[in-house]
Structure 1
């Protein structure tokens, strides 16, 4: 059975290697292949071995590195082929061109495959409408950050944001206007995030934030400023949309899951939504 998650982890681990170091390894491998090709003679098929560094480079490195390996592979193949001592240069030219086309084609197709994989991964991790993380990816990344906060003993805060009167906007003005409201909301939220903070879309009109190394006082300052920014941005839409927000700051250091923290923030949000709406409830645990 194909283990997609495991293979994606392997790819990410290789992506984390210094590009110059990886290229040096592939360059050494390509030269080694050329040497073995020359030693074994021109009648030994070595083309598939030349492709290994090229395909690897096309998948993990830039075009510049890949072109370099294509030229080195072609040079190695030429030196091997010249052992046949064929006088007709047109034969050599034909084979050189064919090898360059072959190597380049594999490099091009591999780079296209990587681009497609990146696009599919992006679609799986980022909500296309709002630019926020998808629910699943937000949970995964937040769980990692929560584990780090437990290890290093620093506070984190989570906010659950729900749009008030959003359903009436969809019903009266259409889903196009609803999408516009979501885009405006997402843009206002992102404009108030700090580097390292996480932003996810949990459902139709529900968003969540994870603020790293943020205590209760800092959380109140950030969320009050964000709410003001949200209301200013949404006022331009001339709708009745407002924001109910539940915010929880985790300080205890006791083991807890991100799902449990989101539930607490969700409960705080609904406490506001079922009373005054258009406000924030802060909780510390």
Structure 2
């Protein structure tokens, strides 16, 4: 407020908004900020993706042996069954059980039993092709998925694996042997459960025959055991 020469009070309004002052480097600064925000966003997305992949891998992996678990094995077998039907390829599944595994736990302790399981899984994983897959189904039961593997070829592969496992057990002084059931399908069944049940049945037949043996069977076009 100001007083005029006549003594009258006058009102004076001052603008509150200050005009923006253009800075010569402002466009570059804004671009720099946007770039850093984009980089930060990309980095956070990468971390999120890595965490998701790690979580997914954990859900598919047996925590002790670090090979596929039952759930992931069934998923892989389902995919290979579809491929076998589509391209008319043979498919083989081997079911492995460790004979006298309980004796190792009782005599040497559970740590020794865990080491046996881990060593067995690692040995199998290193002896098969990259397209094959070994999984721990639970306890001392393992399965091997052998895509595009016929009856005669499966006998060669499984025989080598069994001999290798026996040699490792002898070197480590583990008093165990291995009973294995092997099913080869020229015309695979429709369900994964049917395939694994047949391999499991053959494995138990090997155990009932005195253990430390392999039983092979061929699944024919009429989906009957021959």
Does 2:89 correspond to 1:176?
Answer: no
Q: 2:69 aligns with which of 130, 134, 158?
A: 134
Structure 1: gaps (5+ residues): 1-83
1:259 is matched with 193
Q: 1:234 aligns with which of 149, 160, 169?
A: 169
Deviations 1:214-272 (A, max 9, x none): 11111111111110111112222211121110001112x26431211111110111112
1:213 is matched with 148
Provide the secondary structure at the position in 2 that maps to 1:202: strand
Does 2:202 correspond to 1:273?
Answer: no
Q: 1:144 aligns with which of 69, 79, 82?
A: 79
Structure 2: gaps (5+ residues): 1-19, 220-226
Q: Give the C-alpha shift of residue 112 in structure 1.
A: 0.5
User: Structure 1 residue runs of 4+, over 3 Å off?
Assistant: 91-98
Q: Identify the structure with bigger relative contact order (alpha carbons < 8 Å, sequence gap 6+).
A: 2
- For normalisation by structure 2, the TM-score amounts to 0.81
* Alpha-carbon distance in 2 for matches of 1:182, 1:236: 15
Aligned length: 200
Cα root mean square deviation, aligned: 2.0
Are residues 254 and 278 of structure 1, via their aligned partners in 2, closer, same or farther at CA, if it must alter by over 3 Å?
Answer: closer
2:23 is matched with 87
Deviations 1:93-137 (A, max 9, x none): 654443333222211111100010010011111223323211111
Provide the secondary structure at the position in 1 that maps to 2:50: helix
Please say which structure displays the higher CA radius of gyration. 2
Deviations 1:52-95 (A, max 9, x none): xxxxxxxxxxxxxxxxxxxxxxxxxxxxxxxx982253x55654
Q: Give the C-alpha shift of residue 154 in structure 1.
A: 1.8
* Alpha-carbon distance in 1 for matches of 2:151, 2:48: 46
- For normalisation by structure 1, the TM-score amounts to 0.65
1:99-138 alignment runs, 5 A limit = 99-138=34-73
Which has the larger strand fraction? Answer: 2
Which has the larger helix fraction? Answer: 1
